[in-house]
Amino acid sequence: MCFCWFVCVCVCEYVYTDDWDIYSFHINSTVSSRYATTVITSRVANRMDESKEIEFQVRIPKNAFISKFRMFIDGQAYDGVVKSKEAAKQQYTDAVSQGQSAGIVSSVGRTLEEFKTSVNVAAHKKVTFELTYEELLKRKLGKYELQIHARPMQPVKDFKVDVYIHEKAGINIMEVKGGLSTNAMANAITKTHSDTQAWVYFYPTEDQQKTCDHCGEQGMNGDLVIVYDVNRDNSFGDIKKSSGYFVHHFAPSNLARIPKNVAFVIDQSGSMYGRKIQQTRTALIRILNDLAEEDHFGLITFDSSLFHWKRELVQATEENLASAKTFALQIQDRGATDINQAVLEGARMLNANPREGSASILILLTDGDPTSGVTNLEVIQSNVRKAIAGEFPLYCLGFGFDVNFEFLEKMSLQNNGVARRIYEDSDAELQLKGFYEEVATPLLTDVTMVYEGGINLTQTNFSQYYNGSEIVVAGQITDNDIGTFTPQVVAQRNRKVVNIQRVWAYLTVKQLLEKELRLSGPEKESAKKEALELSLKYSFVTPLTSMVVTKPPGESSDVLHKPKEGEAPQTPTSNVRQYGLMPSSLSLPLCYGVYGVVSLKLLHHPNKGQSFFSL
Give me the residues that bind ligand NAG (CB under 6 A), please: 28, 30, 142, 162, 253, 256-257, 441, 446, 448, 455-456, 461, 467-468, 476
Q: Closest approach of Cβ 564 to ligand NAG, in Å? A: 25
Give the Cβ contact number of residue 37 at 10 Å.
Answer: 21
- 388, 355 contact by CB (below 8 A): no
- CA 347 to CA 360: how far, in whole Å? 10
Q: Closest approach of Cβ 183 to ligand NAG, in Å? A: 26
The SS3 of residue 427 is coil
Q: Closest approach of Cβ 162 to ligand NAG, in Å? A: 4
In angstroms, the Cα distances linking 277 to 183, 301, 334 are 37, 11, 11
Q: Closest approach of Cβ 538 to ligand NAG, in Å? A: 10
Element (H, E) at 121: strand 112-121
Nearer residue to ligand NAG within complex by CB, 173 or 184: 173
- CA 481 to CA 454: how far, in whole Å? 8
Give the Cβ contact number of residue 77 at 10 Å.
Answer: 14
Nearer residue to ligand NAG within complex by CB, 363 or 449: 449
Longest dimension (CA), the chain: 81
Nearer residue to ligand NAG within complex by CB, 142 or 335: 142
Closest by Cα among 154, 153, 125, 129 to 50: 125
Q: Closest approach of Cβ 368 to ligand NAG, in Å? A: 32
Burial class (CB in 10 A: 0-12, 13-18, 19+), 452: exposed
Q: Closest approach of Cβ 476 to ligand NAG, in Å? A: 6
- CA 483 to CA 375: how far, in whole Å? 55
Element (H, E) at 464: strand 461-466
Element (H, E) at 328: helix 318-329
- CA 417 to CA 410: how far, in whole Å? 9
Nearer residue to ligand NAG within complex by CB, 165 or 365: 165
Nearer residue to ligand NAG within complex by CB, 46 or 441: 441
Nearer residue to ligand NAG within complex by CB, 260 or 410: 260
Q: Closest approach of Cβ 400 to ligand NAG, in Å? A: 31
In this structure, which amino acid lies at residue 118? S
Nearer residue to ligand NAG within complex by CB, 303 or 514: 514
Degrees to nearest 5, angle at CA 230 with 138 and 464? 45
β strands within 305-384, DSSP E: 306-308, 314-315, 359-366
Q: Closest approach of Cβ 206 to ligand NAG, in Å? A: 20
Q: Closest approach of Cβ 447 to ligand NAG, in Å? A: 9
What does R_g of the chain's alpha carbons equal in angstroms? 26
The SS3 of residue 358 is coil
Degrees to nearest 5, angle at CA 544 with 541 and 550? 45
Q: Where are the alpha helices (DSSP H) in 76-115?
A: 85-91, 93-97
- CA 435 to CA 420: how far, in whole Å? 8
Q: Closest approach of Cβ 449 to ligand NAG, in Å? A: 9
Closest by Cα among 120, 208, 296, 235 to 600: 235
Q: Closest approach of Cβ 317 to ligand NAG, in Å? A: 20
Nearer residue to ligand NAG within complex by CB, 37 or 181: 37
Q: Closest approach of Cβ 350 to ligand NAG, in Å? A: 19
Nearer residue to ligand NAG within complex by CB, 141 or 594: 141
Strands 306-308 and 558-561: unpaired
- 107, 423 contact by CB (below 8 A): no
Q: Closest approach of Cβ 100 to ligand NAG, in Å? A: 35
Nearer residue to ligand NAG within complex by CB, 239 or 255: 255
β strands within 303-422, DSSP E: 306-308, 314-315, 359-366, 394-399, 419-422
